[in-house]
Amino acid sequence: MSPAVQATESPIDVTRPVLADWLRLQQTDGVGLLTAHRLLERFGTPAGIFAADRAQLLAVATPRQAAALLAAPPAGLAAELDAILAWRQQPGNRLLCWGAAAYPEYLRNITAAPLLLYLKGRAELLPRRSVAVVGSRNASRQGVLNAEHMAQALSEAGLTIVSGLALGIDAAAHCGGLNGPGSTIAVLGTGIDRIYPARNGALARRIAEEGCIVSEYALGTPPSRDNFPRRNRIISGLSRGVLVVEAAAQSGSLITAEMAIEQGRDVYAVPGSIHATLSKGCHQLIREGAKLVETAADVLSAMQMLADGEAGTRPPLDDSFVDRVLAAMGDDPVRAEWLAVHLGQAPGELQGQLLALELAGLLERLPGGMFQRLSG
């Protein structure tokens, strides 16, 4: 954050006048996010912007923008402010202003960062190390399985999974993230009080309880074709990297990947058959420099989480433990829950051990939460 920009109040203590200034700046006619951030760079806060005179504003804004900033607040601002304050009183709801201490640093520093973030759920997930997992809405069955499998493994390694709550790959990624301690963040292209698509309503409710839902859009904002590509910059902006599991040549996931590159994030892509339409986008990304990955271990390695010891809470392995686990597994697929009971270990602790064994190439994670021994 630039020294010229002052930190705003905490999201719990933001007063009505302060929030009113942020809303007014966000809704000023002709002032987009790029201009808003230039104004904040110059004047520090929305209150500082609205206290400036025309000559001062013209150093940053056009005459038309300066006139709009000097005009009276919009007529509906008070009613919208009342609705937001009432919404914020509900359990689990928070509102972050850009520049607030709790505003996630990775997102704060992107071009055109949102001025306001509406949150529902575990806001503490936002600053954690995360990876976006995205792909086709019309995914293949195998693509869905791959997305959920990889997302769960990454979540178990301590990464929070970020996606867009769409059908197909996004939904599978959220499910996988929720199955591990890293959990998941869903970024909406609607107001946070509008869930789209409706078919993901149950998933959204679970994310609100166990993960976090994020939107930059005003309460009540309906689905709009333009909103979804725009929200993709938040998906990549919250993440350290973007994993594209399955995507056609014109997929919206490629927009997320492009934004990730612009933001300095790494892009990973899962290859597929040369004959598969849903692999064309991934192959295009690989040709353009995305890292080819086949497993969650490939992603962790690329993120240096295997070398620097940041792979979640995975405990160290010893030979006797490895022998016990592999002996207990036998030759047939087994569930982690069964292993935990058989070995007398807490399920959460065992998940980390199983991930270490998977990354060591001693076992394979199968769909449905099953594990298969690979060693002899």
**Measured distance CA(189)–CA(274) in Å, rounded:** 32
In this prediction, residue 89 has a pLDDT band, given cuts at 50, 70 and 90, of: very high
Determine the pLDDT at residue 252. 85
Residue type, 125: L
The answer to whether 200 touches 171, Cβ cutoff 8 Å, is yes
Domain 16-88 in CATH 3.40.50: no
Determine the pLDDT at residue 82. 96
Backbone dihedral region for residue 201 (phi beyond 0: left; psi -120 to 50: alpha; all else: beta):
alpha
Fold classification of 319-373 (topology level): Arc Repressor Mutant, subunit A (1.10.10)
Domain residue spans of the chain: 16-88, 123-302, 319-373
Determine the pLDDT at residue 332. 79
Residue 169 has pLDDT above 70, yes or no: yes
Q: Model pTM greater than 0.85?
A: no
Residue 88 has pLDDT above 80, yes or no: yes
Q: Is 267 helix (H, G, I), strand (E, B) or coil?
A: strand
Residue type, 188: L
The answer to whether 369 touches 179, Cβ cutoff 8 Å, is yes
- pLDDT, tens digit (0-9, with 9 covering 90-100), for 121-159: 999 999 999 999 999 999 999 999 999 999 999 999 999
Query: What are the structure tokens assigned to 14, written together?
Result: 């933001």
Q: Is 221 helix (H, G, I), strand (E, B) or coil?
A: coil
Residue 317 has pLDDT above 70, yes or no: no
Work out the mean pLDDT of the chain and round it to a whole number: 88
Q: Residue 125's CB: how many other CB atoms inside 10 A? A: 23
Q: How far is CA 80 from the centre of its chain?
A: 27
CATH of region 123-302 = 3.40.50.450
**Measured distance CA(2)–CA(129) in Å, rounded:** 23
Question: Which segments of 245-354 are extended strands (E)?
Answer: 266-269, 291-292, 334-335
Q: Which residues contact 319 (CB under 8 A, 6 or more apart)?
A: none
Dihedrals phi, psi of 373, to nearest 5 degrees: -70, 140
Percent of the chain with pLDDT over 90: 70
Determine the pLDDT at residue 315. 44
- pLDDT, tens digit (0-9, with 9 covering 90-100), for 211-243: 999 999 999 999 988 899 899 999 999 999 999
Q: How far is CA 237 from the centre of its chain?
A: 8
The answer to whether 107 touches 113, Cβ cutoff 8 Å, is yes
Residue 350 has pLDDT above 80, yes or no: no
Determine the pLDDT at residue 1. 39
Q: 3-12, 84-93, 165-174, 287-296: lowest mean pLDDT where? A: 3-12
222 DSSP 8-state letter: P
341 or 38, which is more confident? 38
Determine the pLDDT at residue 318. 63
